[in-house]
Structure 1
Amino acid sequence: MMTLEGKTAVVTGASSGIGKVVAARLAAEGANVILAARSIEKLTELEEQINGAGGGEAIAVATDMTDRKSVESMAAKAKEAYGAVDIIVNNAGQMLSGTVRSGKTEEWESMIDVNIKGVLYGIHSVLPGMIERGSGHLINIDSVSGHEVTKTSTVYSATKFAVRAISMGLEKELARTGVRVTNISPGMVDTPLMGSRSVDRKILDPENIAQAIVYAVTQPAHVNVNEITIRPV
């Protein structure tokens, strides 16, 4: 197994939920972590928590994943601080009204901008350097909604199907480059995205997703874990 000591990881959507827990876990494993999200206040709190816990360092960078220049600026700060980005966890996402009948076009556009464009911008900001070095790992946080569609998830599922398609295409584009791609598809996770939805069973904890990511990124360099689907029992 590989170690994360001295590696640099970017985690988008790091201010809460899965991203917050993933960032803390990667730092605990020794990685230096760039915390990217719009809420600098929440990021600063997490930065202080990580830097006070030992392990890897953390740097908070206010980032709008729907703005390509903002994402590129974040990646530039990561490279300035640590020389290279070894891992990016494209976690930032939105789950709003998912039906077409609702006619909520602004919510559709917001999900498309964050869930699809944000992932592409994140990848684009670090991929050239990874290809040049012949190593790197792209982690895309998808969803089981990227595999299945319900009557209330049409638009959201469409954006997550797109994330899965991006991951599958990149696996082929990046074959033999040394850059690995992992698509993570969680089921229902206890995060703010859940809102007030009621459930009748125990749901996943963000730490369950963090463990899967650590598993994927610590495999030997020649092992590419392409797809992990995680559901509650």
Structure 2
Amino acid sequence: MTIENRRVVITGAARDFGRTLAIAFARLGAEVYLSARSLAGAERTRDEIRALGHDRVHAFACDISSPESVRVFADAVREHTDHVDLLINNGAAWLEGEDLLSADDEAILATTGSGATGTVLATKYFLPLLLASAQPDIVTMVSVCGVPNFAGSSAHDAFYAAKGAQSAFTGILSKRLRERGVRVISLFPPDFDNIDPLSPEWETAPRGPENTLTAQSLVDCITFAVNQPRDCFISAFHFEPAP
């Protein structure tokens, strides 16, 4: 079992780890359907991938906090394919601030809407395409902030709320979708180094026990999980922060 020729949907792929995921999966031979809030951002990542010689990549605009936008995104993907093998729920707004009063209502709504509501909506609208696959997987980038009683981040309370909701949603979904053959995998990383996958450092970055977790290791965890035989349901990856 390999990633080659799998059809992979990735949200929030214009920059940061979403961009990393899109490039990494394209390099592994997957057909990638990537989205970003702005079409220009999605197309920028698409064009970077095409410049590497990978033509099976498609870019879409999608505001994952908007039901209509997510529905349109899923419908557009359906015009290209009759199934999706892997949905990666990556898109989520970051909000910093250890004081609840430090963020305005719009920032709080954007944070909870993208992280919590967005994950539910993307999973809902792509589930029919996943159920049409012989090897359906859903991967959600949660965060250590979704671990109960964790308090070691400078993230705003609204970000903690969004990640807690993601954790609860993927937890129950893992149990309810198992009988339908869909594996639901959640990652709970601390802060990590998102090295540019197009830079030389991608291959040479130190990854020893004293180093901060890298994006490379997160990609390796995802590919490891989805490449397991279908009787192997890995529900979550939890990571120790660097000392």
SS of the residue corresponding to residue 140 of structure 1 reads strand
1:203 to 203, 207, 212: 212
Find the aligned partners of 1:88 and 1:11 in 2 and give their Cα distance: 6
Deviation sequence 1:145-178 (CA, Å, 0-9, x none): 1111358543211211111111110011112211
Amino acid at match of 1:168: G
Amino acid at match of 2:167: R
Question: Residue 134 of structure 1: CA displacement?
Answer: 5.8
RMSD: 2.2
Aligned 8 A contact 1:202 1:232 in 2: no
Distance 1:231 1:33, change over 3 A: farther
Q: Which moved more, 1:143-152 or 1:77-86?
A: 143-152
Q: Which residue of 1 aligns with 2:184?
A: 181
Question: Residue 107 of structure 1: CA displacement?
Answer: 1.8
Question: Residue 223 of structure 1: CA displacement?
Answer: 1.2
Structure 1 residue runs of 5 or longer lacking an equivalent are 192-200
Matches within 5 A, 1:47-126: 47-55=46-54, 57-98=56-97, 99-102=99-102, 104-126=104-126
TM-score (ref. length: structure 2): 0.84
Question: Residue 104 of structure 1: CA displacement?
Answer: 2.7
Find the aligned partners of 2:193 and 2:56 in 1 and give their Cα distance: 26
Aligned 8 A contact 2:83 2:132 in 1: no
Structure 2 residue runs of 5 or longer lacking an equivalent are 195-209
Find the aligned partners of 2:164 and 2:29 in 1 and give their Cα distance: 32
Aligned 8 A contact 2:84 2:133 in 1: no
Q: Which moved more, 1:64-73 or 1:38-47?
A: 38-47
Q: Which residue of 2 aligns with 1:213?
A: 222
Aligned 8 A contact 1:17 1:206 in 2: no
Percentage of identical aligned residues? 27
Find the aligned partners of 1:39 and 1:163 in 2 and give their Cα distance: 23
SS of the residue corresponding to residue 71 of structure 1 reads helix
Aligned 8 A contact 2:142 2:189 in 1: yes
TM-score (ref. length: structure 1): 0.87
Question: Residue 25 of structure 1: CA displacement?
Answer: 0.9
Aligned 8 A contact 1:96 1:107 in 2: yes
